[in-house]
Amino acid sequence: MNHKPAVLMLTWEFPPNVVGGLSRHVYHLSKQLVELGLEVVVVTAKTENTLPYELMDGVHVYRTGPLQSHERQFLKWIKDLNLSMLQMISTIFDHHPIAFIHAHDWLVGECARVLKEDYQLPLISTVHATEFGRNNGIYTELQKAIHNEEYQLVHQSDEIIVCSSYMKEEIEQVFQYNKQLTIIPNGISVDVKESNLPYKPIEYEQTYFFSVGRMVYEKGYDVMIQSLDYLPDTVHFVIGGKGPLLEMYQRKISESGLDKRVKFIGYVTDEEKEIWLEHAVGAVFPSSYEPFGIVALEAMIAKKPVIVAKTGGLKGIVKDGKTGFHFEPGNAEDLAAKIRHVLSLHDQGRSLGEEGYKVAEKLYSWERVAEQTKQLFEDLVLEHTINEVSV
């Protein structure tokens, strides 16, 4: 039996269950940590057609608990999921020498807190986003409940990881947190594989800018649509992603007569996303709230000029005028001006894309992210061991 210390990763989503960027983040981080010599055990929610256990790229993946999708049962299935995780983990300890816990966001917070207390293990939590930030405040009972869960996880963790300086400030202010936080950015896969798909997923020969994200208000796609009022008819948008506002956006562009200029294409695979980026003039990410902005990095890896709202982690990733351009959040006219500017660049636009690729490759590789995370793990385990000896 392998007795090297293991890290227990807790996450509500993990491939093939991909709802947002969290799933991919935990997958790539776990895989890279294994390559660095760590044993990684992931416990996550079981969804349809997934196995209760599998060894995925060296990562031990355990799945448990029913996943309900009805919002009125949202907090209930979170509670049930955490209880199911606790039951499963009690048997996992018999097979894996868990040295510490790494929780990803509040949805697994209850499980993480109980494990820390029961097994006296150090707890690291990565906060990927906050309910306060997503909604620009706390207004409903559901939001209040989520905010309270986040608060408890943050204050009961031994270490907090955030993805950007923007998120560091948000955690400090929203949760009155005055301890040290560690900034470790999200990573990006720099090896773009040759595609086996057709030239394009669907025929679309016009000049277009590409975007992809979850169809929710804070992603800013209403601003992107509005910017067409200030752009020539030759400019088109292709927008990928699914979410609760997808049908509303599709209906809006149809009623406005913009359906020939904007295409909401729904869910796209990673391979399809790469193809859409490859043939785009540039990429646009108009989010009003974006703690990091992994999609901007993906566009930079594709060597495309990137236009982002000057907010959150996006403004830190994209250097205005060097690897892309900023526009004022919510300002459709300013976004249109930046789009016109990119269209006028020609060869300079390609230079922007090349510079963006260099930055993404150097600073945001998963190897670099995993090395920083592993160092934090080792420091925390050493500190925990010293404290135990001192008692």
Superfamily of domain 208-363: Glycogen Phosphorylase B; (3.40.50.2000)
Least trusted range by pLDDT, from 42-46, 122-126, 207-211, 347-351? 347-351
- Return the top range by mean pLDDT from 192-196, 220-224, 375-379: 220-224
And the tokens for 207? 């000049």
Sheet containing 262-266: order of strands: 262-266, 236-240, 208-212, 282-285, 306-309, 324-327
- Return the top range by mean pLDDT from 17-26, 182-191, 329-338: 329-338
**Tell me, what's the pLDDT at 38?**
95
Is the per-residue pLDDT at 156 higher than 80? yes
Mean pLDDT of 158-173: 93
CA distances from 365 to 13, 202, 292, 347, 354 (A): 22, 30, 14, 27, 16
pLDDT above 90 covers a percentage of the chain that reads: 64
| Cβ-based neighbour number of residue 69 at 10 Å | 8
Mean pLDDT of 318-342: 94
Q: How far is Cα 296 from Cα 163, in angstroms, rounded to an integer?
A: 14
pLDDT digits (tens, 9 = 90+) for 89-128: 999 998 999 999 999 999 999 999 999 999 999 999 999 9
**Tell me, what's the pLDDT at 364?**
85
Choice between 149 and 301, residue whose per-residue pLDDT is larger: 149
**Tell me, what's the pLDDT at 33?**
96
Q: Is the pTM of this model over 0.85?
A: no
Instruction: Provide CB contacts within 8 A for 273, sequence distance 6+.
Output: 212, 240, 298
Please state whether beta strands 123-126 and 98-104 pair in parallel, antiparallel, or not at all (unpaired).
Answer: parallel
The mean pLDDT of the chain is: 89
Q: How far is Cα 85 from Cα 275, in angstroms, rounded to an integer?
A: 38
Sheet containing 123-126: order of strands: 53-56, 59-64, 39-45, 6-10, 98-104, 123-126, 159-162, 182-183
Which of the four pLDDT bands, split at 50, 70 and 90, describes residue 71?
A: very low
**Tell me, what's the pLDDT at 70?**
52
Classify each residue of 274-304 as buried b or exposed e, where b means 16 or more C-beta atoms within 10 Å of its C-beta: bbbbebbbbbbbbbbbbbbbbbbbbbbbbbb
**Tell me, what's the pLDDT at 1?**
44
Is it true that 6-187+365-390 and 208-363 share their CATH fold?
yes
Which of the four pLDDT bands, split at 50, 70 and 90, describes residue 295?
A: confident
Q: What is the largest CA-CA distance in the chain?
A: 72
**Tell me, what's the pLDDT at 113?**
98
Which of the four pLDDT bands, split at 50, 70 and 90, describes residue 68?
A: low
Which of the four pLDDT bands, split at 50, 70 and 90, describes residue 204?
A: low
Is the per-residue pLDDT at 195 higher than 60? no
**Tell me, what's the pLDDT at 389?**
63
pLDDT digits (tens, 9 = 90+) for 369-382: 999 999 999 888 77
Rounded to a whole number of angstroms, the distance between the first and last alpha carbons of the chain is 31
Mean pLDDT of 57-70: 81
Q: Nearest to residue 320, comparing CAs of 338, 346, 297, 347?
A: 338
Instruction: Give yes or no for a contact between 1 and 39, defined as CB atoms under 8 angstroms apart.
Output: no
- Domain layout of the chain by residue ranges: 6-187+365-390, 208-363
**Tell me, what's the pLDDT at 249?**
94
Q: How far is Cα 71 from Cα 32, in angstroms, rounded to an integer?
A: 34
Q: How far is Cα 281 from Cα 195, in angstroms, rounded to an integer?
A: 19
Instruction: Give yes or no for a contact between 355 and 19, defined as CB atoms under 8 angstroms apart.
Output: no
CATH 1.10.3720.10 fits 6-187+365-390, yes or no: no
Is the per-residue pLDDT at 240 higher than 90? yes
**Tell me, what's the pLDDT at 191?**
62
Q: How far is Cα 184 from Cα 379, in angstroms, rounded to an integer?
A: 15
Is the per-residue pLDDT at 132 higher than 90? yes
Mean pLDDT of 13-26: 89
**Tell me, what's the pLDDT at 199?**
47
Which of the four pLDDT bands, split at 50, 70 and 90, describes residue 193?
A: low
